[in-house]
Structure formats: C-alpha cells, structure tokens
Chains A and B, each alone.
Chain A
Amino acid sequence: MNKLFKVPDLFWLIFTASLALGIYYQHDTKQFMSPGGAWSDKAGYYIYLPALFFYDFDARKMPPDIDIKTGGGFSVDINSNKIDTKYTYGVALMISPFFGLAHVVCLISGISDEAGFSLIYMRMMLLAAVVYLTLGLWLLFRLLSERFSATISFMTALLIFLATNLYWYSLIDGLMSHVYSFFLFALFLFSLNQYLKNDWFVSFAVMAVALLLAVLIRPTNIVLVSAIFLFDIHNLREVSDRIRKLLQPGKMLFFLVAAILIFSPQLIYWNYLSGQWLHFSYKGEGFKNLWSPEMAKVLFSPVNGLIPFTPLVILMLTGLVMMFYRKAANRWLILLQFLFVTMVCASWSMWYFGCSYGQRSFIEYYVYLAFPLAWFLQWMVSQGRGWMKSVFVFLILLTTYANIRYVSAFYRYDRCWYGSTWDWEAYGRSWAKAGVIAPFSGISSFENDFENLAIFPGKRPSLIFTISGQHSIRSDRERDHLALYEARLYEFEYPWPKFIDARIYFLRPGKLKTGASLKFSAYSKEREIFTDVVPLDTFLRRSSEWIPVSERFIIPDLYDTAMVIRLTLENPARIPLFADDLSMKFGYSWKGLSGE
C-alpha cells in the first residue's frame, strides 16, 4: 500500500470526506436547538461550556426555557439557581478547543455568538468529531500496522468507521461521547504499546491521561486498566514484571496529580450541584438488571441490538474465535473486554439506550475488536479458495453499503427506533424503507411489549407487574383513555387491511370490576366515524392474573387514505388495571377465514 499511497494521505482523505459528509448530513439543521443540533444527551454534554464561559453557572442568566428547547438533556433550576446535567464534563473538555475556535470565528466575522447557542458552535462541533474520529482511526491503524500489513490495518480501520455505528456517532451525533471515547481508547492502547516498547515517560503520561479522560467520560471505562496488565502478555510472570515497571514513585505521582487535575472540576461541579463532592447523577437509572442481564436483547434485539445494526461484529467475533484457535496474543483481553461491555449494557436499566443507532456503548470497544477483525481479514486474504474470498468480500461490502445507506436514507430522519423488543417485521421494513432491500410485503403486524419508551403510550411505565421484560402499563395512573396504537391508512399498502386481530394481556390486581374497555375507532377528517367497544370485565374473571384478551376489529371500508385508526384502553373509573404485550395482526383478506 505504501508504494501506491502514502498512508497519511489516506487519512487526510478520510478527514476531508468525513467532513464533507458531515456537512451534508447537517445541512438541514438550521437551528442549534433542534433534534439535529445539540439536543437531549448532546445538550447535556455541551452545556458545561456555555454555562462556564457565558453564564458563570448562574441559572438565572440562562435564556428562558433553554433546557426544554434543547430536548431536556439538562435542566435549569431557577429556584436553586443551578444548571443540572447528569453527564460528566469529559466531552466538554475534549471539544473545548473547538468551542474556543467557534468563539474566535464569531469575534472575527461578526456573527452573533448567541451566548454559546449560535449555529456556528454546532458546526464547529462537527469539526471536533471529525478530527477525533480521524485521529482515532489513525492511531488504530498505527497500532494494528505493528501486527498486520499496512493494507489489512488500513482496511480494518476503514471498516470500523464505515461499517459500524461509529459512522453515525461521528458524522451525525458527533456531540455524543462515543467518538471521543473511541479516540481515547485508541490513544490509550497506542501509547500503552509505545510505553511497553520504549519505556518512555511521555508515552506513560499520554496513556495515563487517556485512561483518566476515558473514565471521566464513562466510569465503566475503568476496565481499560485491565489492558495495562494484560496487553501483549504471554504468561503470569510478565504480569508481575509489568506491575513492578508501573509502580514507580515518579509515575505514580504523575498519575495522582493528573487524576486530581482531571477529576477536580467534576467534583467541584457536583459540589455546586448537590453540596456533595460525590454525586450519583443518574437518578432512577442504574444497573437494575445486574442479576438478570438482558444479554440476548443487547446482542440480538431489533431495538438497537449490536448485531442487527452492526453485523460486522459477526466477523469480529469470528476473528476472535480464530485468535483462540491460533492461541494469539491478547485473545483473553479482548474476550474479557467484550464480555464486560456486553454485561454492562445488559445490566443497565435501559439496555437499548433510548434513541440510539445500534448499541452505542460498544463503539469505543471496537478499538479492541479491530484486532480480531484484522485477524479475520488476514485469514480471508490468505484463502486459496477464491469463491470463499468472493463471498466474504461481498459480505463486507454489503455491511458497509447497508450501514451508510441505512443512515443516509432512513435513520437520520427518524433518529429513533420505533419498534418492539423482538419485532423483526418492523426491522425488515426499516431496511426496505432505507432502500437496502426491496419492499417485501405490506404491514402485517404490530407489536408493543412496552419496553421501548419511544413507543410507550403512557407517561411512564409500571415496574410492578409485567408479563415480559421490565415494563407494563398501569392504566389508573394515566389518562382515562390511553392510545395503544394509532396509524393512518396510507401507512399501509393498497389494498388496505380489512381487520385487525388484536391480543393484549391484562391484569386486575383487585377484585373490583374495572368498567374498562378496549375501544377501536376510526376517524375521518378528525370526526369519529366508527367505534367498536369491547368491555374487559367479561374477560377478566380472575384477579391478580395475566389474562389474554383477543378480539377482531374490522377496519371500515372508507377510501380515505388519511383515515386514522386507533386502539385505546378506556378506564373511566381509573380502577387499577395493568396491560402488557400488545400484538396486532393485520388481515388483508376475508378468504381463508370462512371455516372458522
């Protein structure tokens, strides 16, 4: 490769192409305060900078309702005069040079800085993400090229970018923490490698700072420490040698000072916020699934599952198996890291991480998984049998094409996955909407197990009684009517569906009759034109037991594509009633039902 191209030139190419793509993706973001801008979590990471440089952390100086206008990623409490974000300041620290650059641009050009909320800051954050992305990929390439050929190393780095959700979290949601963590992981392993080779203090210092920043951004990244003791280790004796090498007073002193310098601002912020030096900001969240981790969902669910959205991981894991077969160095370290991050995600209360693109918490761990991917690519290249090579080339190109097309043509508009935990039909349809595969059929089903809060119909889920997963609906706490499903006719293909076979589970904790009902209704021009009400008490003969209620609801034959069909749970008396696992099958033909 070096004969054809100079490798740094290729990374300049990645940088400029990524920047151009990022600008293209963000061209329709016209406001700082919009879902494409600094919104929700992104605003929570960013707010440290305007809060510090424009508002002196004085909540009363902040623009009115700025927390609501930026999607609730932080809150402004006028009463206590506090700006409250649950995220740490690590990302803000990483992007601060670019924040400063944006400010300089505003000063020189005369563009209004809008006190930190001008669009120029948003654009500069894209530059920050692309810079860290390119540096991360370059460090990864350098790390890999000591073990693999330049071609394999470059292809691996390129695939990690183009065929995984790193693409999304650098070019579209670059204000989230992942591209910065990815860079820090790459920097950490690169400098660790340099340190082990040369024993340079500078390498140690860079490694320590990268480690501390990674832990600051996400405390679970403390698992990186394991690499210090296990990276390129071949036996236990080498571990003890390495511990001795690290436990030198000068290095420990540096590490301590760096830790104090890096963590002090965070402790000061927590003290400002809560009066405590240590503060758990993720209230109501946490590792609630620690004793029943959702491993299968994290890896395989259509709701942001790792493999459904990053199938390249299959090749990474295949490479890891090869590493074990060949007893390659670092196999145990990589397996440990993969199991650890899987366990962390599976234990977290919201295992699908809200409106994500794939399992975003794995992104920084792709630095580790790049090694087995390179192993796999090396094996593939060495294959004598040509057809197998062609098949794998096809699969690799397909995952890359599918990832870019899915992001570009579909997901950047939705920005959230609206489906149930195992709704494969919705998953398949989304790939058809993206144009990756041809449309295979109309909508034939809808499921909602009420786990994904993006399609949760009420205000907040109940955790008390559930038939599957963690959530159910507690209807007495909601409005007296709750829309379980709603669609317009044009969402279906012509000929329109004729009926819906619905099934939903109910639990009545007490013995009182509820007076509740399932109501199917149709609306044309905002006028209710059809209703079908099914009282539930006839079904709910036993209390404290999940009972399935199945019913067929006929869709009116009205040629109005804007007609709304809606299934609601009516509970006018608000007597406690729990609902879970809604399943709907759409029938397009009366044929074949005659013998029922």
Chain B
Amino acid sequence: MRWFFGGLALGVFIVVNLFLGAGGQERSSDPFEYAEQERMPDSLQKFGKRIFIYNQPFTLSSEKPFSPGLYTTFRELNPMAGAWLRTTALVWHNGSPDSLACSLVTTCNQQGTNYKYLYLPLEKSKLPSRQWSRVTLDYKIPRGASPDDVIQAYFWFRGKGEMRVEEMEVFSHQAGGVAKIF
C-alpha cells in the first residue's frame, strides 16, 4: 500500500506541474496591461526647473494624434545622473472614462528607436468626463546611449473622437552637486 502512495505522489507531482505549466502560457500580450510608472522621490520635488511649456489649448483627434511636447537631446538638456522629468497637463474629454484611448508618453530615442519608453494610459486612469483633470508622469532620465539621443514627452491619442489638452509643462528635477551624465 505504501508503494502505491509513493506512485500516487509522483502522479500528483506530474499533474500539478503540467497544470502550472499550462497556466504559464496564458499571460496577456496586451502591452497596456504592463504599462508602468515611476515616482519621483519627494526630496527632489523642490529642485524643479521648467524646461517646456505649451499654454495654448489644443485638440487631439485621430487625424491629429500627437500633441506638441518636449523634444530635446541629451547634449542640450545635459542632465545630471539621477535627474528626473515631470510632465503634467490638464485634459478634457466627453466620452466614457474607460474609453479615453490616449497615452502621456516620455521616452528616449536613438534615431527613431525608442528606449525607456514610459507611458500613462489614460483609459486606465478613468478620468471623469466633461471636466478638466490633471495628469502627471514622472520619468527618471537614464544614462543616454549617445549625446545626440532625443528625449521626448508628448500625448498620443489612439482613439476616436476628440480630446483637449491645456497647460502642458515639463519640469526637470535634479539635485545639485551630482556628477553629470555626460
């Protein structure tokens, strides 16, 4: 009988591992499922310096999906190690909160190839309809692969209909006395 229990335990082992293995194949391939944001340390918030502002209201639509935004190079910005960007804006829409297919993006890119591409999918934020809401995205600036690599911050509207944006600003935050990245 005890031999039987040993064999039974092996059977359970095999079945459990097959079951867990089968579950492992069912991971979502929706990139918006894995969108993640960083949070700037509180100690750096007082060191903010505005490096981009777009005061005028503008409307995003499927014909005009990208907003004005920050477009600079590492050479121009010359960020120190551990520097952050904070992008903030007011947004307004008249659809349902979870249908707002728009991302607030901050990214670096090298000749068109993005790296450290962070985005805030607004449909996940469930912003209330027909009122202005402030959205913010923090971004820790990585070591640039090249001084000519670009740093960008912008809205990308992916849905149908329209969305309005105002007071788009980008701040650079870096503590003094830290070695520069370049």
Contact = CB atoms under 8 A, between A and B. Distances in A.
A436 interface: yes
Contacts of B114: 556-558
Contacts of A595: 41
B145 interface: yes
Interface string A583-596: 00000011101111
A390 B9 contact: yes
Interface string A552-596: 101111110000000000000000000000000000011101111
A499 B118 CA distance: 13
- The number of chain A residues touching the other chain, given as a range, is 35 or more
B179 interface: no
Dominant SS at the B interface? mixed
B6 A391 contact: yes
Contact of B145 (A530, A558, A594): A530
Contacts of A392: 6
Contacts of B29: 494
A522 B113 CA distance: 10
Contacts of B38: 590-591, 593-594
Contact of B10 (A398, A437, A493, A558): A398
Nearest to B25: A439
A554 B145 contact: yes
A250 interface: no
B5 A532 contact: no
B6 A397 contact: yes
B34 to A, nearest CB: 4
B10 A397 contact: yes
A398 B34 CA distance: 37
Contacts of B17: 435-438
B9 A529 contact: no
Interface string A430-444: 001001111100000
Interface in A487-535: 493-495, 498-499, 520, 522, 529-533
B27 interface: yes
A559 B31 contact: yes
Interface string A366-404: 000000000000000000001101111110111001000
Interface string B27-53: 101010010101111000000000000
B145 A531 contact: yes
A46 to B, nearest CB: 38
Q: By CB atoms of chain B within 10 A, which of A394, A432, A520, A589 has the most? A: A394
Interface string B86-124: 000000000000000000000110110111111000000
B177 interface: no
Interface string B1-32: 11101110110011011111101100101010
Interface string B64-102: 000000000000000000100000000000000000000
A589 B5 CA distance: 43
Interface in A437-495: 437-439, 493-495
B179 to A, nearest CB: 12
A520 B138 CA distance: 26
Given A435-B21, A522-B113, A557-B115, A394 B27 contact: no
Contacts of B143: 552
B115 A530 contact: yes
A533 B34 CA distance: 29
A393 B5 contact: yes
B128 interface: no
Contacts of A530: 110, 113, 115, 145
Contacts of A594: 38-41, 138, 140
B24 A438 contact: yes
Contact of B113 (A401, A494, A498, A529): A529
Given A397-B10, A556-B115, A591 B31 contact: no
B82 A596 contact: yes
A520 B116 CA distance: 15
A557 B117 contact: yes
Contacts of B110: 529-531, 556
Contacts of A531: 110, 145-146
A516 B62 CA distance: 48
Contact of B7 (A393, A432, A436, A498): A393
Contacts of B40: 594
A556 B117 CA distance: 8
A560 to B, nearest CB: 10
A495 B29 CA distance: 7
Given A438-B21, A557-B115, A594-B41, A389 B3 contact: yes
A595 B116 CA distance: 17
A508 to B, nearest CB: 23
B7 to A, nearest CB: 6
Contacts of A437: 17
A558 B21 contact: no
25 contacts: A389-B2, A389-B6, A390-B6, A390-B9, A391-B6, A391-B9, A393-B6, A398-B13, A435-B21, A437-B17, A438-B16, A438-B18, A438-B20, A438-B23, A494-B29, A499-B116, A529-B113, A532-B146, A552-B142, A556-B110, A557-B115, A557-B117, A594-B38, A594-B41, A595-B41
Interface of A: 386-387, 389-394, 396-398, 401, 432, 435-439, 493-495, 498-499, 520, 522, 529-533, 552, 554-559, 589-591, 593-596
Q: What 5 A-B pairs come out closest when comparing CB atoms?
A: A393-B6, A438-B20, A532-B145, A557-B117, A390-B5
Interface of B: 1-3, 5-7, 9-10, 13-14, 16-21, 23-24, 27, 29, 31, 34, 36, 38-41, 82, 107-108, 110-111, 113-118, 138, 140, 142-143, 145-146
Given A390-B9, A498-B116, 14 more contacts: A386-B5, A387-B2, A389-B2, A391-B9, A394-B10, A396-B6, A397-B6, A438-B17, A438-B20, A493-B27, A531-B110, A556-B110, A590-B140, A593-B38
